[in-house]
Amino acid sequence: MAIERKQIDLTPLKNANVPIFFIVGGPGSGKGTQCERIVNKYGLSHLSSGDLLRAEVQSGSARGAQLVKIMEAGELVPLEVVLDLIKEAMVNEVKKGSKGFLIDGYPREVKQGDQFESEIQPATLVLFFDVSEDTLVKRCLKRAETSGRCDDNIETIKKRLATFNNATAPVTDHYEKKHKLVRIAAEGTIDEIFSHVTPHLDRVFGSNQKVAASA
Ligand SMILES: Nc1ncnc2c1ncn2[C@@H]1O[C@H](COP(=O)(O)OP(=O)(O)OP(=O)(O)O)[C@@H](O)[C@H]1O
Ligand SMILES: Nc1nc2c(ncn2[C@@H]2O[C@H](COP(=O)(O)O)[C@@H](O)[C@H]2O)c(=O)[nH]1
Ligand SMILES: [Mg+2]
């Protein structure tokens, strides 16, 4: 299925040379929740590939109409489409003075991460939120009570879990071999998990300070 591609000038992003963190984990693993905590403490830009896709669907564009079918099936959308959406959002953020990025829910496949790193820059770290399938399902079903997401239903959750195990789990091995993977046990409370996240980011930014936006 041919989906519209865009030409994006990455010069501002490459010149900024800010740290980039991939945030990886199964559906409902707490990526978005932990990213909110990280943004509050370090002032980074949080870009969720899923949220960017949902915004494209909400926009009513022809591209969005094609994407929603794939997302409702719990499958992965074409990687070029996701990368275009992320690139556009990153350039916009860096023009506003972003000092670093959390790329939430990305990459979903090894080749996706490789393409990002060759076209933009290597990731500084890959944070992997490690959660049992049972907990993932429980959290997504609980979220379904209020989220209104097209993919928060037991059928799609199961498909997303299969997609994660088949396509995304190899991502963790890939970055472990590159000594870039940080495996975070994510079964506990939100605060407990966040306390395991901060030491790794403090090593990059220094502790207790929001990364000051450019003047
Ligand atoms: N440590 C936790 N304990 C209990 N509930 C949690 C925890 N972390 C997140 N949640 C809840 O679980 C649900 C999924 O969390 P979140 O949306 O952050 O996951 P996600 O990894 O971004 O999921 P998706 O990939 O589907 O977007 C949310 O309703 C959230 O409030
Ligand atoms: N091929 C990819 N598809 C992606 C990616 N991120 C999201 N998606 C699609 O969106 C839904 C929802 O994502 P979520 O992060 O909110 O769970 C997901 O099931 C995929 O269909 C991506 O990086 N690559
Ligand atoms: Mg999320």
With a 6 Å cutoff on the Cβ, whether 32 touches ligand 2 is no
With a 6 Å cutoff on the Cβ, whether 57 touches ligand 2 is no
Reported as a single tens digit per residue, the pLDDT across 43-98 is 999 999 889 999 999 999 888 898 998 888 888 888 888 999 999 999 999 999 99
Using the atom order of ligand 1, give the atom closest to the CA of residue 50. Answer: 27
**Residue 208 pLDDT grade (very low, low, confident, very high; cuts 50, 70, 90):** low
pLDDT for the residue numbered 213 = 44
Q: Please tell me the distance between residue 91's alpha carbon and the centre of ligand 2 in angstroms.
A: 20
pLDDT for the residue numbered 209 = 54
* 30 known member of a binding site: yes
Contact 116, 149 (CB under 8 A): no
**DSSP codes, 120-171:** T---SEEEEEE--HHHHHHHHHHHHHHH--TT-SHHHHHHHHHHIIIIIHHH
Half-sphere exposure of 26 (CA within 13 A, CB side): 26
**Residue 207 pLDDT grade (very low, low, confident, very high; cuts 50, 70, 90):** low
Question: What is the identity of the amino acid at 13?
Answer: L
Residue 53 CA: which ligand is closest? 2
pLDDT for the residue numbered 1 = 60
Cα separation, 179 vs 186, in Å, equals: 20
Give the angle subtended at the CA of 119 by the CAs of 8 and 199, to the nearest 5°: 110
pLDDT for the residue numbered 215 = 37
pTM of the full structure: 0.90
Reported as a single tens digit per residue, the pLDDT across 136-192 is 999 999 999 999 888 899 999 999 999 999 988 899 999 999 999 999 999 999 999
* 108 known member of a binding site: yes
Look at residue 214 and tell me whether its pLDDT is greater than 70: no
Using the atom order of ligand 2, give the atom closest to the CA of residue 160. Answer: 19
With a 6 Å cutoff on the Cβ, whether 135 touches ligand 1 is no
With a 6 Å cutoff on the Cβ, whether 164 touches ligand 2 is no
With a 6 Å cutoff on the Cβ, whether 85 touches ligand 2 is no
Residue 146 CA: which ligand is closest? 1
Distances (CA, A) of 1 to 63, 66, 70: 11, 9, 11
What the block records as the tokens of 6 is: 């865009």
Q: Please tell me the distance between residue 15's alpha carbon and the centre of ligand 1 in angstroms.
A: 34
Look at residue 22 and tell me whether its pLDDT is greater than 90: yes
Q: Please tell me the distance between residue 215's alpha carbon and the centre of ligand 3 in angstroms.
A: 31
Q: Whose CA is nearest to atom 10 of ligand 2?
A: 50
Look at residue 5 and tell me whether its pLDDT is greater than 80: no
Residue 143 CA: which ligand is closest? 1
* 121 known member of a binding site: no
Using the atom order of ligand 1, give the atom closest to the CA of residue 36. Answer: 18
Listed residue (33, 10, 22) closest to 110, CA to CA? 22
